[in-house]
Amino acid sequence: MEFPEVFQRDGFDAFVGNPPYSGGSKISGVWGNDYRDYLVRFIAEREKSNADLCGYFVLKALTFGRPASNAGFVTTSAVGEGVTREVVLERVCATDAIYRANTTEIWPGAAGVTYLALWIHKGIWKGECLLDEIRVERINAFLSEGTDTKPFVLRANEGIAYMGVQANGQGFVLNKSEAASILAKSDSSVKF
Protein backbone atom coordinates (compact mmCIF):
# COMPACT_ATOMS: atom_id res chain seq x y z
CA MET A 1 0.00 0.00 0.00
CA GLU A 2 2.88 2.38 0.75
CA PHE A 3 4.75 1.80 -2.52
CA PRO A 4 2.22 0.64 -5.14
CA GLU A 5 4.54 1.55 -8.03
CA VAL A 6 7.21 -0.80 -6.61
CA PHE A 7 4.88 -3.77 -6.32
CA GLN A 8 3.39 -3.15 -9.76
CA ARG A 9 6.86 -4.07 -11.06
CA ASP A 10 7.35 -7.14 -8.79
CA GLY A 11 9.08 -5.55 -5.77
CA PHE A 12 12.18 -3.73 -4.64
CA ASP A 13 15.59 -3.90 -6.36
CA ALA A 14 17.35 -3.91 -2.98
CA PHE A 15 16.46 -4.30 0.66
CA VAL A 16 18.65 -3.38 3.65
CA GLY A 17 17.70 -4.12 7.24
CA ASN A 18 18.62 -4.79 10.83
CA PRO A 19 15.93 -7.20 12.05
CA PRO A 20 14.91 -7.31 15.70
CA TYR A 21 16.20 -10.13 17.88
CA SER A 22 14.15 -12.27 20.22
CA GLY A 23 14.94 -15.87 21.07
CA GLY A 24 12.45 -18.26 19.46
CA SER A 25 11.20 -19.57 22.78
CA LYS A 26 10.49 -16.01 23.98
CA ILE A 27 8.30 -14.83 21.08
CA SER A 28 5.04 -16.21 22.53
CA GLY A 29 5.71 -14.74 25.96
CA VAL A 30 6.28 -11.25 24.60
CA TRP A 31 3.86 -11.02 21.64
CA GLY A 32 1.50 -13.94 22.27
CA ASN A 33 0.84 -17.34 20.75
CA ASP A 34 -1.18 -16.01 17.80
CA TYR A 35 1.74 -13.86 16.60
CA ARG A 36 4.20 -16.75 16.93
CA ASP A 37 1.81 -19.09 15.11
CA TYR A 38 1.48 -16.53 12.30
CA LEU A 39 5.26 -16.30 11.93
CA VAL A 40 5.68 -20.07 11.86
CA ARG A 41 2.79 -20.88 9.51
CA PHE A 42 2.78 -17.95 7.11
CA ILE A 43 6.33 -16.60 7.07
CA ALA A 44 8.36 -19.79 7.58
CA GLU A 45 5.67 -22.02 6.01
CA ARG A 46 6.20 -24.72 8.64
CA GLU A 47 4.12 -26.73 11.05
CA LYS A 48 6.31 -25.78 14.02
CA SER A 49 9.49 -23.90 14.65
CA ASN A 50 11.46 -22.27 17.40
CA ALA A 51 13.41 -19.90 15.16
CA ASP A 52 14.58 -16.51 16.32
CA LEU A 53 12.47 -13.48 15.40
CA CYS A 54 15.29 -12.04 13.26
CA GLY A 55 15.02 -15.07 10.96
CA TYR A 56 11.34 -14.47 10.23
CA PHE A 57 12.14 -10.86 9.36
CA VAL A 58 14.83 -11.97 6.90
CA LEU A 59 12.40 -14.38 5.20
CA LYS A 60 9.63 -11.78 4.98
CA ALA A 61 11.97 -9.08 3.68
CA LEU A 62 13.10 -11.36 0.86
CA THR A 63 9.51 -11.64 -0.36
CA PHE A 64 9.54 -7.89 -1.07
CA GLY A 65 12.40 -8.19 -3.57
CA ARG A 66 11.89 -8.69 -7.26
CA PRO A 67 13.74 -11.47 -9.13
CA ALA A 68 17.52 -10.80 -9.24
CA SER A 69 17.26 -8.27 -6.39
CA ASN A 70 19.75 -8.07 -3.53
CA ALA A 71 19.26 -7.81 0.22
CA GLY A 72 21.66 -6.98 3.02
CA PHE A 73 21.11 -7.66 6.71
CA VAL A 74 22.98 -6.91 9.90
CA THR A 75 21.59 -9.45 12.31
CA THR A 76 22.49 -11.44 15.38
CA SER A 77 24.59 -14.53 14.91
CA ALA A 78 21.45 -16.54 15.80
CA VAL A 79 20.36 -16.50 12.16
CA GLY A 80 23.29 -18.79 11.35
CA GLU A 81 22.75 -21.21 14.23
CA GLY A 82 20.49 -24.12 15.14
CA VAL A 83 16.85 -24.09 14.18
CA THR A 84 17.00 -20.51 12.89
CA ARG A 85 19.70 -21.56 10.42
CA GLU A 86 17.52 -24.47 9.31
CA VAL A 87 14.40 -22.34 8.92
CA VAL A 88 16.08 -19.36 7.24
CA LEU A 89 19.42 -20.10 5.60
CA GLU A 90 18.56 -23.58 4.32
CA ARG A 91 15.49 -22.09 2.66
CA VAL A 92 17.48 -19.17 1.26
CA CYS A 93 20.17 -21.46 -0.17
CA ALA A 94 17.56 -23.73 -1.78
CA THR A 95 16.26 -20.96 -4.05
CA ASP A 96 18.58 -17.97 -3.74
CA ALA A 97 22.24 -17.33 -2.96
CA ILE A 98 24.23 -15.90 -0.08
CA TYR A 99 26.98 -14.12 -1.98
CA ARG A 100 28.69 -12.44 0.93
CA ALA A 101 28.82 -13.03 4.67
CA ASN A 102 30.84 -11.71 7.58
CA THR A 103 30.17 -14.29 10.25
CA THR A 104 31.78 -13.21 13.51
CA GLU A 105 31.80 -9.46 13.77
CA ILE A 106 31.99 -7.94 17.23
CA TRP A 107 29.52 -5.13 17.86
CA PRO A 108 31.49 -1.86 18.13
CA GLY A 109 29.37 -0.41 20.95
CA ALA A 110 29.00 -1.27 24.61
CA ALA A 111 26.93 -4.42 24.03
CA GLY A 112 29.02 -7.56 24.25
CA VAL A 113 27.50 -9.36 21.26
CA THR A 114 28.59 -10.70 17.92
CA TYR A 115 26.64 -10.10 14.77
CA LEU A 116 26.58 -11.29 11.25
CA ALA A 117 26.31 -9.40 8.01
CA LEU A 118 24.60 -11.19 5.12
CA TRP A 119 24.20 -10.27 1.47
CA ILE A 120 21.59 -12.33 -0.38
CA HIS A 121 20.80 -12.43 -4.09
CA LYS A 122 17.33 -13.51 -5.13
CA GLY A 123 17.92 -16.16 -7.74
CA ILE A 124 21.07 -17.72 -9.15
CA TRP A 125 24.26 -15.82 -8.33
CA LYS A 126 26.93 -15.85 -11.04
CA GLY A 127 29.40 -13.47 -9.43
CA GLU A 128 32.13 -13.75 -6.86
CA CYS A 129 31.33 -14.79 -3.27
CA LEU A 130 33.09 -13.45 -0.18
CA LEU A 131 33.07 -15.29 3.12
CA ASP A 132 34.74 -13.29 5.88
CA GLU A 133 36.44 -11.26 3.12
CA ILE A 134 37.92 -14.39 1.46
CA ARG A 135 36.86 -15.36 -2.07
CA VAL A 136 35.00 -18.67 -2.17
CA GLU A 137 33.10 -20.61 -4.81
CA ARG A 138 29.83 -20.76 -2.88
CA ILE A 139 28.48 -19.98 0.61
CA ASN A 140 26.19 -22.61 2.11
CA ALA A 141 23.52 -22.51 4.84
CA PHE A 142 26.17 -23.23 7.48
CA LEU A 143 27.91 -20.03 6.38
CA SER A 144 30.91 -21.98 5.26
CA GLU A 145 32.39 -22.68 1.83
CA GLY A 146 30.90 -25.22 -0.57
CA THR A 147 27.69 -27.15 -0.78
CA ASP A 148 25.52 -28.04 2.19
CA THR A 149 26.14 -31.24 4.05
CA LYS A 150 23.53 -31.79 6.69
CA PRO A 151 24.85 -33.28 9.94
CA PHE A 152 23.59 -36.69 11.02
CA VAL A 153 21.71 -37.19 14.26
CA LEU A 154 23.75 -39.26 16.73
CA ARG A 155 21.38 -42.12 17.53
CA ALA A 156 23.79 -43.33 20.23
CA ASN A 157 22.84 -40.26 22.28
CA GLU A 158 19.09 -40.79 21.94
CA GLY A 159 17.48 -40.69 25.35
CA ILE A 160 20.65 -39.63 27.19
CA ALA A 161 21.43 -36.20 25.76
CA TYR A 162 19.06 -33.28 26.13
CA MET A 163 18.94 -29.53 25.83
CA GLY A 164 19.25 -28.93 29.56
CA VAL A 165 17.52 -26.50 31.85
CA GLN A 166 16.25 -23.27 30.34
CA ALA A 167 15.52 -20.51 32.80
CA ASN A 168 12.45 -18.71 31.49
CA GLY A 169 11.17 -15.68 33.30
CA GLN A 170 12.19 -14.72 36.80
CA GLY A 171 10.81 -17.67 38.74
CA PHE A 172 13.99 -18.12 40.78
CA VAL A 173 14.79 -14.51 41.60
CA LEU A 174 14.63 -13.78 45.32
CA ASN A 175 14.85 -10.57 47.25
CA LYS A 176 17.40 -10.31 50.09
CA SER A 177 15.00 -11.22 52.90
CA GLU A 178 13.73 -14.33 51.05
CA ALA A 179 17.29 -15.46 50.37
CA ALA A 180 18.32 -14.86 53.99
CA SER A 181 15.33 -16.87 55.23
CA ILE A 182 16.20 -19.84 53.02
CA LEU A 183 19.87 -19.70 53.95
CA ALA A 184 19.02 -19.54 57.65
CA LYS A 185 17.15 -22.85 57.32
CA SER A 186 19.95 -24.54 55.36
CA ASP A 187 23.65 -25.29 55.87
CA SER A 188 25.07 -22.73 58.30
CA SER A 189 28.41 -22.62 56.46
CA VAL A 190 26.82 -20.67 53.56
CA LYS A 191 27.02 -16.92 54.13
CA PHE A 192 24.78 -14.28 52.55
| Residue-wise pLDDT tens digits, 13-60 | 999 999 888 877 788 888 888 988 999 999 998 878 889 999 999 999
pLDDT at residue 77, as a whole number: 86
Q: Can you list the domains of the chain with their CATH numbers?
A: 4-150 (3.40.50.150)
More confident residue, 162 or 28: 28
More confident residue, 8 or 147: 8
Q: What is the pLDDT of residues 90-102, one digit of tens each?
A: 999 999 999 999 9
Helical ranges in 46-102 per DSSP H: 53-63, 82-84, 90-95
Element (H, E) at 188: none
Rg value, the chain, Cα? 21
Whether the pTM exceeds 0.75: the reply is: no
pLDDT at 3 over 90: no
Q: In what order do the strands lie in the sheet with 12-17?
A: 12-17, 65-76, 114-121, 97-106, 129-131, 134-136
Backbone dihedral angles phi then psi of residue 110, each to the nearest 5 degrees = -75, -25
CA-nearest of 89, 100, 96 to 130 is: 100
More confident residue, 164 or 15: 15
